[in-house]
Structure 1
């Protein structure tokens, strides 16, 4: 039996009551009426928080209400997802969804206390961020091919860290292990910040994350970038090859982040959040920050994000099965 109680009946009752109580004054999608909480399912210091805080700051300016980020790590994102699913469906609690919580957990975790496709409404995709593969400078490998060869010659001797089970970095590295045949041990942390602390100290030897978290360390020579997960090289690292270039032509993985609300949120409110998010993503502050981090902004309608999630679920359900990804 799951350690979490089922949310379906309780959430349906709460959502129905909230919808019946929704004031007529809000029928035009007047949002927000009070401060908005944006839950982030990982600890501070990672790409997810950077994306969330960049957008939240602009939403605060635009709406006149405080849109604040609350980091709530734990359980491969399940802790935050449970809290979001239980929240009133009025648009004042949002959650930052990503590849792990939306496309991998349904196939990696047994007995989730919610259904990601039924208990949440996709609002909009915020950003896609390239995955970068890095190693500690003490690893005797100068490039991707040398790293793969070294790991294969020393199976199980190296460790890689991630922001946690089902984090984007965990998935990217497990996908890389699948296609290359490497054996390197996964060490899950409670966020990108904590795992980078150990990587920089040499207690782990490799990782995958986004440029927002890794860029400064790469430029300082504290980490060595050996590959990127996108099909094309990225402007910030023009000399770093893609995994596809290294003999794995179908390999592609990136981090992506989007907003969701609890199921039952009125369509007018969902539409208003999407419109305000699109405006925030087009602001100078966000576009400049995203350009620095090689992130691609989104902002499209809810239906577009929902279709994107379905496609990602199809892709990752197969990868989870083939790579036998488990919640360590």
Structure 2
């Protein structure tokens, strides 16, 4: 018995440095960061800035791969079939926490993701073409009431925050709208400029089109007005008690070693603090929203419960 104990102790002593060495050696190759929206939109542009900064800290490239579609949930789903070694990471938009309530999945968004760090959130609003019939929010509401189901608006996907928040606004005001989903801001902008939509709900990827005079902002969804669009009222100012900024961050597969998660967290936190990243966010009226790994995991749990209530309220849950 004593001899067996000594052999086991010796084996544990040999194994311990190898695990430590793995953590110290990480990363030994490029890291993939899966982004939930298409290239060229505000999410892609800001995440590329963050990835470039993190690459310098980690000493290995952090390579962006765009995985648009499915309401921004494809990267999180891909984590479920990926090695838990820290070399594949994913952007985690809020839509991930709605998945079990809207579709059948065999994994848990809270338990089956290692939450690394929250990095930012969106500034949202509703816009309309400047040459269209809707000149302000009162026009939007009046048209929708007079023409139930005929006011077409686009979003960046079914069950994304722009879609659900707009439907919640409509429910509060007794409106019936015609929702048309797109894969991301770039596609949505093309559709509204092409005359296919009367309005669009999005993060401020619409900013360049507003600044060029092609779109006008009907409202924004933050706690305060956006500095870039000081004339656009918040939902609260319009009597609608909603604030939406949809924080998002970075996750890894469940079971990723804690030392690796910490190394990733520390690198991305440093990357968030670089002026280049802060400037890229400011371009879209976004701000750094930092949560460490423990805070982000708690946020995931709380959001999971809150999103269940929202989906049920809107009657968008999966059939029983």
| Matching residue within 217, 221, 227 for 1:229 | 221
Task: Report if the CA contact (8 A) 1:40-1:72 is conserved.
Answer: yes
| Matching residue within 314, 319, 322 for 2:305 | 314
CA distance in 1, matches of 2:129, 2:217: 9
CA distance in 2, matches of 1:168, 1:251: 12
- Kindly report which structure 2 residues correspond to 1:201-280, keeping only aligned pairs within 5 A, or say none: 201-211=194-204, 213-248=205-240, 250-280=241-271
Task: Report if the CA contact (8 A) 2:48-2:64 is conserved.
Answer: yes
Which residue does 1:197 correspond to in 2?
Answer: 190
Say yes or no: does 1:105 pair with 2:99.
yes
CA distance in 2, matches of 1:100, 1:200: 26
The alignment yields a C-alpha RMSD, in angstroms, of: 2.1
TM-score (ref. length: structure 1): 0.86
CA apart distance, 1:305: 0.8
CA apart distance, 1:34: 0.9
Which residue does 2:161 correspond to in 1?
Answer: 168
Give CA deviations for 1:245-271 in whole Å, capped at 9, x if unaligned: 1111x2111232200000000111111
Residue 32 of structure 1 aligns to a residue in which SS? coil
Which residue does 2:278 correspond to in 1?
Answer: 287
Task: Report if the CA contact (8 A) 1:278-1:300 is conserved.
Answer: no
CA distance in 1, matches of 2:163, 2:27: 35
| Matching residue within 75, 78, 88 for 2:83 | 88
CA distance in 2, matches of 1:54, 1:176: 33
Give CA deviations for 1:62-104 in whole Å, capped at 9, x if unaligned: 2221101111123334443332221111111000001111x22
Could you tell me which runs of 5 or more consecutive residues in structure 1 were left unpaired when the two chains were aligned: 1-18
CA distance in 1, matches of 2:283, 2:47: 16
Q: Which runs of 4+ in 1 moved over 4 A?
A: none
Residue 313 of structure 1 aligns to a residue in which SS? helix
Task: Report if the CA contact (8 A) 1:124-1:298 is conserved.
Answer: no
Say yes or no: does 1:184 pair with 2:177.
yes
Give CA deviations for 1:16-70 in whole Å, capped at 9, x if unaligned: xxx99x7441244x43221010111222233321232121111122222110111
Specify the structure having the higher radius of gyration (Cα): 2
Residue 243 of structure 1 aligns to a residue in which SS? coil
Which residue does 2:69 correspond to in 1?
Answer: 74
Could you tell me which runs of 5 or more consecutive residues in structure 2 were left unpaired when the two chains were aligned: 1-14
Task: Report if the CA contact (8 A) 1:124-1:299 is conserved.
Answer: yes
Which residue does 1:150 correspond to in 2?
Answer: 143
